[in-house]
Amino acid sequence: MTLSTDREMIDRDFAVEDLTTGVHASGFGQVGDGRSFSFHVERQALVVEIYRPRLRGPVPQSEDVVAVATRKLTDIDLSDERSVSAAVRDAVAEAQPVPRSGR
């Protein structure tokens, strides 16, 4: 596990705050506009969820997810922090909005 020691984002649009590599890679971070994201490996894919800004609690709920992206693991070296971080950055940029049903 790697924790970012300097909270200031070098790239103002993306920062990984916690990253665990390996077969069960996971972590979380922030997008420059105030939203947070998390990622994990699920069934041969990297899954990234982006949450709405200003969450009410410390743990996001399913209704807080505003965008999702998945990437195949074939081109990601899960043992390398740089590879995982780059794949997450690309997935965040390509995330698609989650459709909401009318209430």
> What are the φ/ψ torsions at residue 25 (nearest 5 degrees)?
-55, 140
What's residue 10's pLDDT?
47
Q: What is the pLDDT of residue 6?
A: 42
Matching residue, tokens 């590879």: 83
**pLDDT tens for each residue of the chain, 103 residues long:** 444 444 444 456 789 999 999 999 999 999 988 899 999 999 999 999 999 888 777 788 888 899 999 999 999 999 999 999 999 999 999 999 998 775 5
User: Residue 18, SS3?
Assistant: strand
42 exposed, middle or buried (CB, 10 Å; 0-12, 13-18, 19+)? exposed
CB-based contact 23:78 (threshold 8 Å): yes
